[in-house]
Amino acid sequence: QVRVVESGGGLVQPGGSLRLTCAASGSILRINDMGWYHQAPGKPRDMVAISTRDGTTNYTDSVKGRFTISRDNAKNTVYLQMNSLDPEDTAAYYCKAMIRVWGLEYYQDYWGQGTQVTVSS
């Protein structure tokens, strides 16, 4: 069974930093894209940053220059370094991994349970 688990969220002051971690585990043959998404109350879940297996990255405009996504394929882990945080960044942050598992011939998306990021004075 595949698990995707996020950690690293918390309460931080405006201008501060957090580093989120997402680790996938289980019967994983290969992970393609991994990414971070956020969702504030009453709003849809939106993409924040995506990393392909070879390290190509894509960011939503609001976080460019402030957030950095990276990954460690040997550990099936992706990170989101969040700097210069703003109250508008407050949301639940979810990790999604595109994973091929043993016995299947295709990739499926697996979501973590989320980690809360609150930016407030």
- How far apart are the C-alpha atoms of 36 and 79, rounded to whole Å? 9
44: exposed, middle or buried (Cβ count in 10 Å: 0-12, 13-18, 19+): exposed
Q: Rounded mean pLDDT of 34-60? A: 96
If you average pLDDT over every residue of the chain, what do you get? Answer: 97
pLDDT tens-digit series, residues 4-29: 999 999 999 999 999 999 999 999 99
C-alpha–C-alpha distance, residues 106 and 101, integer Å: 8
Q: For residue 93, list its beta bridge partners.
A: 38, 115
Query: Using 50, 70 and 90 to split pLDDT, how confident is the model at 55?
Result: confident
Q: What is the mean pLDDT of residues 85-95?
A: 98
